[in-house]
Structure 1
Amino acid sequence: MFGLLNVNKPPGPTSRDVVNRVQWLLRQSGSKAKVGHAGTLDPIASGVLVLCLGPATRLIERVQQMEKRYVGTFRLGCTSPSDDIELEPTEIADAPIPLLAAIEAALPPFTGQIEQVPPAYSAVKIGGKKSYERVRRGEQVELKPRPVQIYGLEVVRYEYPELQLAIRCGSGTYIRSLGRDLAQSLGTGAVMSELVRTAIGPFALADGMPGKSIEPEMLQQHLRSPLEALPCHPRREITDIEEELLRRGMPIDGAIDGEEAAAVDQHGALVALLQPKQGQLWPSRVFVAG
C-alpha cells in the first residue's frame, strides 16, 4: 500500500481513531504499511482527512502545507475554555448583537498573515507536554501568538446568534481561535459549534471515502497516487538503470526546472524526489525499497 486516502471523517471519532481503524484493517490483511494523517480534525469536526499509507507517510508534511478550506459555524454571545462546544459555553450577559455589516467590516484585519494565539485546549506543546493536558491538570497556561495565513474569509450565513464563515487558510490555523478573536473585535464572544473541512489542496469533500464504516475493500478502491501530494512538481521519467541508482542513493544525469522534481518510473509510479546538485540530480527521498 503506497498512496493517499481522502477520508470524510464524521463528527465524533478523533483523527487518530480513523488512522487506527485503517492500520488495523491493513494488519488484518497482512500488510505492515505505516499509516499517518496530514492534519488533525477535532472530534466535533468533520470533513477531509488525508491519510498517507506506506512510503507516502514521508509526504505528510507536503500535504500539510497545502491550502485548507473550512466552513465553520459559531455561536455568538458566549465563551468557553476550549473556544468550542466541547466544554459547556457560558452566556455573556447583555452581549451586543452585531449587525451583518459590522461583521463584514471586521473581516479584513483577519486576512493575510495574522498573529493568532492557539486555544488553551489544543495540542500545542509547552515544555514537552500538550497544552490541553496541562489545563486538564489544573495548570495555568499562556500560549504565545504565532503567525498563520488566512487567504480568504467570508460570511456564509448569519442569523444571530449563529454565524457561519467560509475560510481558506494555511497550515497551523485554529478556526476556533479565528472565531473567538473575530467576536472579541466586535465586543462579544463566540464558541465554535460545528466545523467542516471541505478541502485540502486537491482533496475535496465530494471525493472523500465515507469514514463512518471503513471496510477492507474500500482501501484499495479509494487509494490515490502519492503524486497527488506533489501537484506542482515537474515529473522526470527515469529508466530502470536510473531507478536502481536512485535506490542506492546515487545521482543520475540531467536537469530539472526548479528546486525539486518527482522521479517516476515508466509506469508513472513515484520513485523518488530529485534535487539538482553539482550538475546532477540527487535523490532527497526514495520511496521504493532497494
Structure 2
Amino acid sequence: MKKTEETIVCSEYERRERRRSQIYSVLPFVSVALLLILWFAASSAEGSNFPSPKDIADRFTLFLQKPIKNLSLMGHIWASLQRVFIALGVSWLIGISFGVLIGWNKKANALLGPMFTAFRSVPPLAWVPLVTMWFGTGEFPKILIVFVGALMPVVVNTEAGIANVQKLYLDVGSIFNASQRQMLFEIAIPSSLDAIFAGIRTSTSAGWMVVLAAEMLGGKSGVGFLITRGMDSGDYSLCLLSMICIGLVGALLAVIIQVLERIILPWTAKKSS
C-alpha cells in the first residue's frame, strides 16, 4: 500500500514537472508574439512615426543596395565586434590577474583596493572627454573606453571569488603542506572559476553596450554610428534596424559565452538543470 502511494506521488510529480517544462518552452514564443503585437500597434497608431516591420524590411533591402560609408550592415556590425573583442581580450587578461592579486594578497588589497574602488565608481562614458582629448577620435580611444567598461566586472567578480574561497579547502591544502603557489593555482583559482565566468559574462554585455555609446559619440563605422546617422538624417527605420541588430548580436554573444562556460565548467550545466 505504501509503495503504491509513493508511486502515485512520484507520477504526479513527474506530470507536474513535464507540464512546467512545456510551459517554459512555450513562454519565449509568447514573449516574441507580444513584442510583435506591440510593434504593430505602435507603428499603426494614428499619427505615429514609428517604423513598421515592412519599413524595416525595406530599409534592410536599401542597405544591401546602398552601403553606408562603403560598408554593408554586416561590415558595420563586424567593425563594432572587432573593437569589443580586442577590448575584452585585454580586459579579461588584466582584470583576472588584478582581481586575483587584490583578492589573494591582503597587502595589495590594502594598497590598491581603495584606488580601484574610486576608479570603479566613475562610469565608462565619463572618460570620453579625457580620452578624446588625449588620443583623439580614432580607433584606440573607442577600444580604450570599451576596455574600461569591460574591466570592472571582471575584477570585482574575480576578487570576490578569490576572497571567498571556502576555508575548508585552504585548510586541506595546509594539511598536505601545499605551498602558497599551489594554494593559489590549484585550490583558490579553480574554486573561483564560477565567479570569474560571471564577471566575464557581465563584462561581455557591458563591453557591447559601451562600444555602441562610444561609436555614437564619434565614429565612422559601427552599429552605434548607424544610429547616430539615422538620428541626424531623420531615418528612423535605420535607427530601429540598428537597434534590432544590437539586440540580436548581444543575445548571440551571451549564448556563445554560456556555451563556453558549459564546456569549461561542465558542473554549471548540472546546477541549472
Q: So what's the TM-score if we normalise by structure 2?
A: 0.22
TM-score by length of 1: 0.21
More strand by share: 1
- Determine which structure has more spread, i.e. the larger CA radius of gyration: 2
Structure having the larger proportion of residues in helix: 2
